[in-house]
A and B are shown apart, each in its own frame.
Chain A
Amino acid sequence: MTRHLELRAGAYHDSVALMQVSQTVAAEPGVVAALVAMATDLNLDLLGNLGFDPPAGAGPNDLLVAVHADEPEALQRALTTVDAALAERPSAAHGGFDSEAQPRTVGSAAARSGATIAVISTPGPYAFVEAMDALEHGLSVMVFSDNVPLAHEIRLKQEASRRGLLVMGPDCGTAVINGAGLGFANVVRPGPVGVVAASGTGAQQVMCLIDDAGVGVSHCLGVGGRDLSAPVGGAATIAALDLLAADPSTEIIVVISKPPAPDVADAVRAKAAVAAKPVVFALLGLGQPDLTAAAHSVVTAAGGRWRPPRSWPAPMTRLGAYGRVTGLFSGGTLCDEAMVIASAALGPIRSNVALRPDWQLGGDLHADGHVMIDFGDDELTRGRPHPMIDGSQRIERLLAEAEEPGSRVVLLDVVLGHGAHPDPVSDLAPAISRARERAQARGADLAVVVSLIGTTDDPQGLERQANALAAAGASVHLSNAEAARTAVGLVQAGS
């Protein structure tokens, strides 16, 4: 056994890039564990968990390289891999007569480029400073970062309102402006529907479904999950409604959100009333129509012809006695929607993002009965890439489900589009086949139901993804609600 730990001062890389490097190195033969990360408190904790003593004087601007290998040659190979993987990352250019170094602040970049928007995805505690800088340079901002304090959000939105700009977020995963997707976004056809969304995956589902029905999108403006809470007061929602009301390409507006705080709802409805365009509210949660029903309303209001979202049946008859359903989600709103539908039919659904406090799942994410997990939740993405980018955590759980006693249904979401994994089925389809084989090997069945959030024009190829998933034994549904109902139906039929 051999260990290597070094601290490289002043060598900053973003956390997603480094997580990818760590994974590449950890996958090297002979490597027991590897951590290539900035020396933040969190990463120093992780380092301790790997059995290393945190080096003295390490700070968030220093790069930790820690490798635990089973023999010296493996360690050497791993360190070579670290250097090669880091070298692939662009570094600031210096030298030469005409080479200008990369800007170091959002304000500097804005001054150089004549940009219209800033997309900020720094760690949350730092996002405020860069976002404020963007506003001061006349840019609207999408704050992709999560873990941004509420007070920062309020101050940013106040400043944006003073300057006539828009702050999307924090924790805004999805936006589409004039056909360009920011963050996680599907390629939707241009059209009359303007979207205001407090939920990224909710917006993705609605946009994909209306696209499937032949109706297009003008813009999708994210506002952040807290925008319609009382403290934030719907500041971004109101600004976004103003924008879309004045936008000539937008004919109908849809607002996708959890039910707003009462005062905020009044303000938003008042703004909607003067928009001179139809405004459809797609509200999320218990007692509300599902996203597919909301998409139906939008398509009808836009004068389109609704047709049920496409699906691809499982290639075999599913006759197992499916005792329970396990949902493995990457999108929080999709998980929520599935739980609302499933709990109405099946009773309690245990979850890390439970609908009711008494349904809360423990830290091991296991419970008797029906379980649905949002792997995109902040708690589960600490120190890991988002499951839309890297599906390995979900695949592990899928394979583990196959070993559980009896037959069960596994409900999964697969989100396509810009920002998401370039080919999710490359890992997921073989895993589904293997999981089903494992279950069958012990005389049981695993029914896999997939809600596929995507459009025909997504870079991953909707048809190819759907066909590969179906070929692996899953049924595939463009409607998350329909996928959830299919899963419920299988459980009910099997009991």
Chain B
Amino acid sequence: MAHHPDHDPGTGQYAYEDGNALAGPLSEILTVDPTSALGRCTGCGSRWPLAHLHVYAQAPGYVGRCPDCDQVILRLVRSPDKAWLDLRGTVALTFRLGP
């Protein structure tokens, strides 16, 4: 992972993980592999697979941010009996499916 300002040299830890951290919590909702789905940032227009998002998992929910401009792409909150998925930061999600 490239250097970024949220790397804490004291603990050697990063403030965020990559989008693969979303594989488990998102696959509960989406039946296809969610991290390979392609999105496009509504802020800066960059395109990426969800696996490339910067994911802040140490918050009350998961927050996925654009790797290029840090805009919030998705928020995922799980309660004991519900999940909320907000995808307002991506223009669309493209899933590769079988014919």
Query: Are A and B genuine complex partners?
Result: no
